[in-house]
Amino acid sequence: MYYEEQVINGVLCYRTSPDGAWRQFSQKELTATVVKLTELLDEQSTELANVLEVAIARGEQLGYSDDDYRERLAALQKYGRA
């Protein structure tokens, strides 16, 4: 199966054959993609926040200082991602 996506003139398009015509995604398709990606981002951000909280609580130094962990956790919380 062939599938390719490309932004053409600022619009996300796809085609299903190498020589096929480019088709614009519908608003519903784009909305569904945004919803899925937002859900995935929320899940990953929550997981990262959990890891950071554990690392801070344990005083672990996985290549970063405590301040780095705290800054990353604060940023996730600020944007409602934790």
Give the model confidence (pLDDT) of 22-81 as tens digits. Answer: 999 999 999 999 999 999 988 888 888 888 788 777 776 666 666 777 787 788 777 766
Domain span including residue 38: 4-78
pLDDT bucket at 19, cuts 50 / 70 / 90: very high
Give the number of domains in the chain. 1
* Per-residue DSSP letter, 12: E
Q: Is the pTM of this model over 0.85?
A: no
CB atoms within 10 A of CB 73: 19
Question: Which pLDDT belongs to residue 63?
Answer: 64
Task: Report whether pLDDT(2) > 80.
Answer: yes
Question: Which pLDDT belongs to residue 61?
Answer: 64
Instruction: State how far the alpha carbon of 42 is from the alpha carbons of 28, 37, 71, in Å.
Output: 21, 9, 18
